[in-house]
A and B are shown apart, each in its own frame.
Chain A
Amino acid sequence: MRLEARGAISPAMAIAAPFAAIAFTLAVAALFVAWAGAPVGRTYALIFEGGFGSRFAWSETLTRATPLILTGLAAAIAFRARLYNIGAEGQLYAGALAAVAVGGLHGGIGADLPPAWLFAALLGSAALAGALLMALPAIAKTRFGVDEVVTTLLLNFVVLLFVSMMLDGPMKDPAAMGWPQSVTLDDELLLGKLVDRTRVHSGLLIAMGLAVIAWAALRMTTFGFEVRAVGANPRAARFAGVPVTRTILLVGLASGAAAGLAGAIEVAGRTGYVTLDMSPGYGYTGIVIAMLAGLNPLGVIAAAVFVAGVLVGADSMSRAVAVPTYIADVIVAVALIAMLVATLSARYRLRLR
């Protein structure tokens, strides 16, 4: 039994693969729903309705999709260069903390700046915080060959403990009745709502704009070529004159910056302050989204909306039937595995001898 590479992948197969993966995922999740004793059809209908069935459902899904697009982008562009950034979760918190430090601390930096400038500084510092956090693993990888999967993953815990320290110490909100919660952003720095009486905010437009920019950059720029070349074959890329180390460092910085922005936009658009549970694993879910999207930045938008819909839909479903919301995690996790298998089988054919 072995895998044989297919010559060229037909476009039809490249498009069919993710749909086949999602169909397989729903079939597997159906087993668990049935096991929980709930009607399968009704459960799925409720998930769909809760995620996409109404104006309110759409607004909640898009609100949830906003940070997911950014963490999905963070994973997609880094993975394109085969830099496996698993640290988007930590980079997101670093970005959120930096945003509050610039825009919320009393007498904070740049308090005299006009709000537009201050907002730019807020986004910039969040991006910088995420990028710097990713610079460390990227340098360790290129200089010493340290596996970035290990370093980025472990840095997540380091950052979470650091955030915990800050929330109980220097950045603690004195008005929070003892809750570990940061000070809030100044009101003029909060993002506007896109639709009245919903939580959808203009951060969605920023995230989607960045996805389009990332797509165009990968496709049209010399840097995009370098990223794709390094990811596809670093040896041949180096031979052809691509600065491999520099490319990995730069793509690492871009990836960290995207995850850092996710944190800042979540703070400015939704919560207004940082708590230790502001991200229910957006960084990790971003990896799944990137894989579902086939590492295509435009696909990340679609995949983020799909995953957000499942997460939001599962919340409202579990209130109606006795299936725990964890079914959403099952769906997302199985979707990742199914997508990996689908991608593999689009590229390779299984041969029994």
Chain B
Amino acid sequence: MTDRLLALTGITKRFGSLVANDAISLELSRGEVLALLGENGAGKSTLVSILFGHYVADAGTIEILGRALPPGDPAAALAAGIGMVHQHSTLADNLSVLDNVMLGTEPLWWPRSRRREARGRLLGTARRFGLAVDPDARVASLSVGERQRVEILKALYRDARVLILDEPTAVLTPQESEALFATLRGMVAEGLSVIFISHKLGEVLRVSDRIAVLRAGRLVATLPARGTSTSALAEAMVGRAIAPPVARPHARGDVVCVIDRVSTRGVRASARLDAVSLALHAGEITAIAGVAGNGQAALVELLCGLRAADAGTVTLAGRPMAADPRAWIAAGAARIPEDRRETGTIGDLPVWENAIAERYRRPFASGGIVRRSAARSFAAKLVDRYDVRGGGIDTPVRALSGGNMQKLIIGRALSGGAARPDQYAPTLVVASQPTWGLDAGAVAWVHQRMLDACARGAAVLLVSEDLDEIFALADRIAVLHAGRLTPARPAKAWTLAGLGLAMAGAGTRDAA
């Protein structure tokens, strides 16, 4: 085969007892977009890390243009024309675009920098691939989409022949994603090859020529994109059919939580809110859409009792609320934080102490002494009912998988310390990225819990970057951009395009 560019043969990588990659063989042709599809933990990132030289495979070889690539050597991978665009920006914020692109391409001991030549070459590359940039702009001033463009340019500047993109659309609006896809098609037309990592089925089908599906470290299918359906891909990815969550009929009830012209200040954009108003009703799921870092963190912290409003008020069940987690818990707020490892659980403490962490004073203590047996039997019931696997109640939470941690957090929040599910119903559920990083089965489970809580009369606030999730669950949707919130409109009134425009700031700007 003359157009074969890259060949991976029998790549195997183990981490302890976990087989992250199990004898994976793949080929990539010139001018081809290959999608690596798989759930979190399927082995996609490990595979490209091996390709890029971050890890050394336990077995297997990599050939590029017929020559073996030395293992564990990122410099050799770069020299061989493998370029990587990471999910999170790896640019130096305080340098210009040109500096970032040049970084590492010049010998350190040479006194003169060839900036003028580099500038010309960068502009030439940018023109050729239709990636408009200002070489003198400081990276800190660029949007996430623009930074990604710089990352791609940086790889192209080094004569990349294979471009690896790790979940590139996770931080983009639908419109920005569309622009990225157009760029990729242009690059492929110029003879480059692309490896596109994703777990989103729709975009994989749109952008790629061929799709390699990984599941639990194995390559389970290689399918042409043409003629493949999303349902076939989903089944290959998960290995079984997933029952979609069932929405019980729920009626919109009274207002439970009112956010009235709340502003917060902060150094980072994610900590700023600008006169945000929102009313949450019982029996209704309100979703907040938006690109990450537009104030979601501040909004969630506000409703978890972790942050005080610098202006405006928040009331829950008619009472004004302060920044005190205990008051929010007592008022019936079930809180599911974004970071389950750093915020949701205390990793070094056992499951049972984490299970009562929000209610260790009441009801699980009297006279300052923890009622150990009551706490432990409650934890055992929680573990059982919410299907927390991977250890008993004495296992440190650190040893659980992300999905099981999330089940523990959700169980703790929704059960309210009550031993029987009919004894407690939260008034408000605040869920931030509740399904991030979970496998499809766990995602359906989490969605079902939220629908159930809603059906039992809770007002649910869902903050998510996953638009599929938002459209699947939400009754009303509001969009957060640069700390400003659009009015919450019924989900049916939004189109994907309209949502994308609002995420880019259109709606909020009009409102301002």
Residues of A bordering B, CB below 8 Å: 4-5, 7-8, 220-226, 228-229, 232-233, 235-243, 353
Contacts and interface: CB of A to CB of B under 8 A. Distances in A.
A163 to B, nearest CB: 36
B335 interface: yes
Contact of B306 (A220, A221, A228, A239): A239
B335 A353 contact: no
Contact of A221 (B15, B347, B353, B369): B369
A5 B342 contact: no
A8 B399 CA distance: 6
B290 interface: no
Contact of A232 (B326, B344, B346, B372): B346
A244 to B, nearest CB: 10
24 contacts: A8-B396, A220-B370, A220-B372, A221-B369, A222-B365, A223-B368, A225-B353, A225-B360, A229-B346, A229-B357, A232-B346, A232-B347, A232-B348, A236-B344, A237-B357, A238-B325, A239-B306, A239-B325, A240-B358, A240-B360, A241-B325, A241-B358, A243-B326, A353-B72
Contacts of A235: 342-343
A237 B337 CA distance: 13
Contact of A233 (B15, B335, B342): B342
A310 B44 CA distance: 55
A232 B56 CA distance: 33
Given A225-B370, A229-B357, A353-B56, A241 B329 contact: yes
Given A228-B349, A239-B337, 7 more contacts: A8-B391, A225-B360, A233-B346, A235-B343, A236-B342, A240-B325, A242-B360
A242 B56 CA distance: 44
Interface string B316-335: 00000000111001000001
Nearest to A224: B370
Interface string B385-415: 0000001000110110000000000000000
Contacts of B226: none
B368 A221 contact: yes
A256 B335 CA distance: 36
Contacts of B353: 225, 229
A347 to B, nearest CB: 9
Contacts of A236: 342-346, 357
Nearest 9 A-B pairs (CB), nearest first? Answer: A241-B326, A240-B357, A232-B348, A7-B399, A241-B325, A233-B346, A236-B346, A222-B365, A232-B346
Contacts of A233: 342, 345-348
Contact of A220 (B335, B346, B369): B369
Nearest to A243: B326
Interface residues on B, range: 35 or more
A245 B347 CA distance: 20
A240 B345 CA distance: 9
Contacts of A7: 398-399
Contacts of A8: 391, 395-396, 399
B381 interface: no
B285 interface: no
Contacts of A229: 346, 349, 353, 357
B368 A238 contact: no
Contact of B335 (A223, A237, A239): A239
Interface string B411-438: 0000000000000000000000000000
B18 to A, nearest CB: 11
Interface of B: 15, 55-56, 72, 304, 306, 324-326, 329, 335, 337, 342-349, 353, 357-358, 360-361, 365, 368-370, 372, 391, 395-396, 398-399
A33 B354 CA distance: 49
B306 A238 contact: yes
Contact of A222 (B72, B324, B342, B368): B368
A343 to B, nearest CB: 13
Given A7-B398, A7-B399, A229-B349, A239 B304 contact: yes
A221 B325 contact: no
A106 to B, nearest CB: 42
A262 B439 CA distance: 55
A241 to B, nearest CB: 4
A235 B301 CA distance: 12
Nearest to A229: B346
Contacts of B395: 8
Contacts of A238: 306, 325
Contacts of B372: 220
Interface centre among A221, A232, A239, by most B CB within 10 Å?
A239
B425 to A, nearest CB: 20
A206 to B, nearest CB: 23
B399 A237 contact: no
Nearest to A240: B357
Contact of B360 (A5, A222, A239): A222
A286 to B, nearest CB: 23
A5 B345 CA distance: 17
Contacts of B369: 220-222
Contacts of B306: 238-239
Contacts of B398: 5, 7
Nearest to A225: B360
A8 B350 CA distance: 10
A223 B357 CA distance: 12
Contacts of B337: 239
B365 A232 contact: no
Contacts of B72: 353
A237 B56 contact: no
A353 B54 CA distance: 9
B348 to A, nearest CB: 4
Nearest to A216: B369
Contacts of B358: 240-241
Contacts of B55: 353
A4 B16 CA distance: 10
Contact of B349 (A221, A232, A239, A353): A232
A239 B326 CA distance: 9
Contacts of A241: 324-326, 329, 357-358
Most buried by B among A7, A8, A223, A241: A241
Residue from A8, A222, A238 with most neighbouring chain B CB atoms (10 Å): A222
A12 B335 CA distance: 37
A266 to B, nearest CB: 31
A353 B14 CA distance: 12
B297 to A, nearest CB: 13
A8 B396 CA distance: 7
A351 to B, nearest CB: 9
Contacts of B360: 222, 225-226, 240, 242
Nearest to A237: B346
A228 B349 CA distance: 8
A230 to B, nearest CB: 9
Contacts of B15: 4
Contacts of B329: 241
